[in-house]
Amino acid sequence: MLSTLNAPISLYAAAVAALMPLLAFGAIMVGTRRHPRLSAALSIGAVSMSLSMAIFLLVHHWGMAKPLVFQTTWLVSGRMSIPLGFLLDPASLLMLTVVAGISFLVQIYSLGYMAGDPGFSRYYGCMSLFAWAMLTLTISSSLLQIFIFWELVGLASYLLIGFWFEKFSASEAGKKAFVMTRFGDVAFLLGLVLLWLQLGDLDIVHLNNPDIIVQRVSPGMLTLTALLIFGGIVGKSAQFPLLTWLPDAMEGPTPVSALLHSATMVAAGVYLFSRLFGFFVLSPVMLTVCLTIGTLSLVLSSTMAMVARDIKQVWAFSTISQLGFMLMGLGAGSLYAGFFHLMTHAGFKALLFLCAGVFIHHYETNDMFEISRKGGRTLKSAMICMLVAGSALSGLPPLSGFFSKELILGRLLALDNPVWFIAGAAGAFLTAYYTFRLIFIILFPRPAESTAGKDSQPDHHSHQVAAGAGVMSAVLWILAAITVILGFFETPIHHFLETALGAQSSLPIAHRGWLPLAAGLLAFLAIGLAWLEFGRRGASQVGFVERLPALAKFFSQRWYLDHLYRFLLDKLVYKGISRLFTWNDRRVIDGALDGLGMSAVGLGGLIARLHTGMIQYRLMVMFAVVVVLILYFGFSG
Amino acid sequence: MTLYSILFYLIAALILCATTAAVTRRNMVYAVIYLVLSFFGTAMLFYLLGAPFLAALEIIIYAGAIMVLFLFIIMMIHMEEKPGTFFPSRQLLPALALSGLYLAAFVALVSTDKGGWRPLAAAQALPKEFGIYLYNNHWLSIEIASTLLLVALIAALILGQKIRRRTGAAGKEAP
Amino acid sequence: MIVPFRHVFLLSGLLFVLGMFCTLTRRNLVMILLGVEIMLNAASVAFVGSALRWQQMEGQALVLFILAIAATEVSVGLALIVAIYRRTGSIDPDVQWTQLEEGSD
C-alpha cells in the first residue's frame, strides 16, 4: 500500500510530528529542569512543529484516495512479525491535527496558568511526553503499536493527574486512574493476543478489511476479541462501569484536564473504535454492546452532573456522557457521526475546561456557587467563551455541537429500536440542562449560601493574575472561534473521510427534515428549565433533582459505584486474594525457605552430635555401614 | 518332631531368654550371671550340633574365664545403679532401627540359601578328629593365636601397671 | 535329624541383634563389652551350624579361634576400662573425658 510519489515527505513529516515532543521531553527531563522558561520554550516549540507538520500532512493529503502506510518490521518470531510504522489516512490525519492543535493551545495556556509553580519544568516535560505518546498513537499502523502508546498515554495521565503529589488526594486520584484503566487494558491485551493468534498480524489496514477477517476468524472469536478490545475502550474513555476515575482525575491542573481528560486521551478510546470500525462492524453483538454501554454512560453521568457543585466535575461528567454519545453514534453504525462529534467535542470541551481554569485561577476555588458569589460574571472573556462552548455542548445551532449531535441523533433514529433514540434525546436534554445550570449559577449569583464549597479543593499554586490573563484569554478566543466555525466544515470532512474509508462508514444517516428542529427545540426546552430554576430573578437555584434529597444523594454519590468498588476491593481483593497471597508468601514460600534453613541447622546439629566422641554413636554408624555392605555383597554378587 | 529338634528349640529359647535378661538388667552382676547361663545354653547347643570339644571349651573359656573376669572388674568398679532413663531414646530408636535392618538382612540372606530348609543331619566331630584336623590345616593360626594371648597378657599387665605408677597409689592390680 | 539350618542361622541372627542392641544402648562401658561378647558368641553359633550343614570342620576350627580372640580382647578391654575408671571415676561413655579429673586412684 505504499504510495511512492509522496513517500519520503509524508514519512518525514509524520516522523517529525510524532517524535519532536519526545526529544523535548528528554531534553527537559535531563537538562532544563532548573530553567522553567527554557523548558516551556522547548515543549511549545516541539508541539508547534508537530502541529505544523500535522496541518501540512492534512492539507497535502486532502482528498487522498487510499491510506498511506509506512512500516518497518521490528521483531520477527516465526510466523508472527511486529511492525512499527505510521498509517496516514483521513481519520488519523484529522485526529493528528486535533491532538496537535489542542496540545499546542493548552501548552500556551499553561504558560499563564502554571506560572510560578515549582514544578513548571516537570509539567512541560510530562506534557511533551503525553504529546509524543498521543500523537504517535493516532498515526500508529498496527494494533500492538497502538497498545504500546495507549499505555504510555496512561502513564502520562498518571504523572499529570498526580502532578501536585504533595496533596494526598491528587496522588490517590492518579493511582485510581491508572489502576482502573489498567483493568480495561488487560482486556485489551487479551483481545489483542487472541486476535494475533488468529490472524498472525495486527495491521490496522488488514483488520479493517472484511474479506481477510471473515476468512480467518470465526464469528464467535470475532465477537470475543471485539468485546475484549472494547473493554480497553471502556477503561480509557471512562465509560460505564469504569467511569469513576475521571471525576477524581480533576485533581490535576486544569490545563491537564482540558487536554487529557476531555479532548484527547479519553477520546483515544473512541478513536480506537473508529480505527477498527471495519472490524467491529462485522459483529452485531459488539455494536449492541457498544450502544448499551454508551447509553448507560450517557444517562448515568448526566444525572451525576446535575447535582455536582465543582465546576470541573460537571465538565468531567459531561465528558463521560459525551463520549458515551459518541459510542452510541459509532455503535449505531456510523463512523462519520461518532468521529465528527469527537472532533467538535474536543474543541468545545477543551474550551469549557480552560474557561473553568480561568475562574479557578482567579478565585482559587472550584465550587461554582463560590465563584459566582465572588463575582465570576465579571471575567468577561471567560464568561463569553463559556457561553459559546456551553451552547455548543447543548447543541444550539449554528455552533459545531449542533451539527455533530444532530448527526448522531439521526443515526440513532435509523435504528429499529426506538429506545436508543429516546435515550439519546434524553441525554441531550440533560446535557443542555446541566450546562446551563452551571452557566446561570455563575451568571446570576446569590448572596450568602450557607453551605460553602466543602467538596471543592482549589488548585493550589501561586496567584499571578495579571501576567497570565492575556495568554489565557487569547487561547480561549481561538478555541471559541474554532467552535463556532467547525460545524460548517461538516460536509467537506465527511467527504474526506468517505473517500478513503469507502464502504465502512457509509451506513445511511437519516436526514429527516424534522430532526434538526426537534433537536434545537429540545435544547431550548432544557435551557428554559434551567432558566426557571437557576436563572431568573428570585429562583431558588435548587434543581428539580435536588428537591428530592434521596435522588440527589444517589446522583452525587455517583450512583454508589465508588462504594461498590471499594466494597469489592475490600472484600475480594484485600480480604480475599491479598490475604491468600500473603499467607502463601509467609507460610509457604518463606516457610519453605526458613524450613530449608532450619532443617540444615537441624541436620547440622544432628551430625554434630555424632561427633561428640560418644562411642555408641560411632558404633551405630559402623553397624549401619556393615549392614549396608551385607546387603550389597549378599545380593549383588 | 524328633527329640533333637525339640531339644534345639528348648535350648534356643533358653539362650534367647537368658541373653535378653542379661541385656536388660540394671545391676551388672545380674547381667553377667544371666550371660553365663546363656553361655551354658550355647554349650549345650554346640554339643547338639556336633561339636563336643567346642562345647567344653565354651564352658571353660567363655563362661569360666571371661565372665569371671568380668565379674572381677565389676566388683572392682563401684558403680551405683543410676536412676533415670535406662535406655535413652536418642540411642534406643536408632538401635531399634538398626536391629530391624539387621534382622531383615539376615532373613533375606537366609532365604537365598537353597538347601537351608532341609533338616541338618546329626553328626559329631570327635575331639581327636578335631584336633588332628586342626593341627594339620591350621597350625599357623594356632601359633599366632598363642602369640596373641601372650601379647594380651603383657598388655594387660602394662595397662594396669602404668596407671599405678603414675598416681603412685598402691592400688589394685589388673589381672 | 535336627532342625533346618535356617533356624540355626536365625537363632544366631537374633543373638547377634541382641548383642548389638546391648552395645548400642547401655550407658556403661562394661556393658558395651558384654554386648561384644554376645555378638561373638552368636557368630560362633552360626559357624558351628554351618559346619554341620556342610559337614566340614572348618567352622568348628574357626570357633576355636573366635574363643581365643574373645579372651584376648576382653582382657585388654577390661584393663582399659579399669584405667579409664581410675582416671575419671566414671564408666559412662557419654561423659566428657577431658573434664573429669577426680577419682584417679
> Please, what is the angle between helix A514-530 and helix A418-443, to 10°?
40
Which residue of C lies nearest to A624 if distances are taken between CA atoms? C20
Quick check: C60 and B107 CB within 8 A? no
Q: Å from C102 to nearest chain B CA?
A: 12
Residue C101 falls within a domain, yes or no?
Answer: no
pLDDT band at residue A450 using 50, 70 and 90 as cut-offs: very low
Determine the average pLDDT of the residues in A216-223: 85
Q: Using the beta-carbon criterion (under 8 Å), do B95 and A631 form an inter-chain contact?
A: no
A509 or B66: which carries more pLDDT confidence? B66
Contacts of A634 in chain B (CB under 8 A): 105, 108-109, 112
Of A612, A613, A619, the CB nearest to C24: A619
Residue partners of A505: CB distance under 8 A and separation at least 6 = A277, A334, A335, A336, A497, A498
Lowest mean pLDDT among A390-394, A466-470, B82-86: B82-86
CB pairs under 8 A between A and B: 25
Shortest distance between the Cα of B169 and any Cα of chain A, in A, equals 29
Lowest mean pLDDT among A194-203, A350-359, A587-596: A194-203
Which residue type is seen at A19? L
Closest partner CB to C94 (pick from A614, A619, A623):
A614
Number of domains within chain C:
1
List all residues of chain C from 6 to 65 with a beta carbon under 8 Å from chain B. 6-11, 13-22, 24-28, 30-31, 33-35, 37-38, 41, 44-45, 48-49, 51-53, 55, 57, 60-61, 63-65
Fold (CATH) for B1-78: Four Helix Bundle (Hemerythrin (Met), subunit A) (1.20.120)
The CATH number of residue C66's host domain is: 1.10.287.3510
User: Nearest residue on chain B to A626, judged by CA atoms?
Assistant: B102
d(CA A241, CA A296): 9
Burial class (CB in 10 A: 0-12, 13-18, 19+), A183: middle
* Domain presence at residue C44: yes
User: Is A616's CB within 8 Å of B91's CB?
Assistant: yes
CA atoms of B174 and B156, how far apart (whole Å)? 7
pLDDT of residue A6: 56
Hey, of B89, B91, B111, which one would you mutate to test binding to chain A, going by the most A CBs within 10 A of its CB? B91
Domain ranges of chain A: 283-449+469-556, 565-636
Percent of chain A beyond pLDDT 90?
20
> Is residue C98 one of the residues assigned to a domain?
no
**Spatial distance between the Cα atoms of C19 and A59, rounded to a whole number of angstroms:** 107
Q: What is the mean pLDDT of residues B79-92?
A: 64
User: Each residue of A266-321: pLDDT tens digit?
Assistant: 889 889 998 888 888 888 888 899 999 999 999 989 988 888 888 899 999 999 99
Mean pLDDT of chain B, nearest integer: 85
Residue of chain A nearest B98, judged by CA positions: A624
Residue B86 pLDDT > 70, yes or no? no
Which cell goes with A268? 483515544
Does any domain span residue C48?
Answer: yes
Question: Across chain A, what does the average pLDDT equal?
Answer: 84
| B165 has a pLDDT exceeding 70 | no
Query: Running DSSP on this structure, what letter comes out for residue B119?
Result: B
Q: What is the dihedral of CA B37, B42, B47, B50, to 10 degrees?
A: 180
Classify residue C105: in a domain, yes or no. no
- Chains touching chain C, criterion 3+ CB pairs below 8 Å: A, B
Q: How far is C93 from chain A (nearest CA, A)?
A: 6
Q: How open is the CA angle A440-A446-A450, to the nearest 5 degrees?
A: 125
3-state secondary structure A351-381: HHHHHHHHHHHHHCCCEHHHHHHCCHHHCHH
Q: Is the Cβ pair B95, A620 closer than 8 Å?
A: yes
A and C: number of Cβ contacts within 8 A:
20
Domain boundaries, chain B: 1-78, 126-175
For chain C, the first-to-last Cα distance in angstroms comes to: 58
Does residue A364 carry a pLDDT above 70? Answer: yes
Stated pTM of the model: 0.69
**Which residues does chain C have within 8 Å of residue A623's beta carbon, measured at their own beta carbons?**
20, 24
**A611: contact with C, CB 8 A cutoff:** no
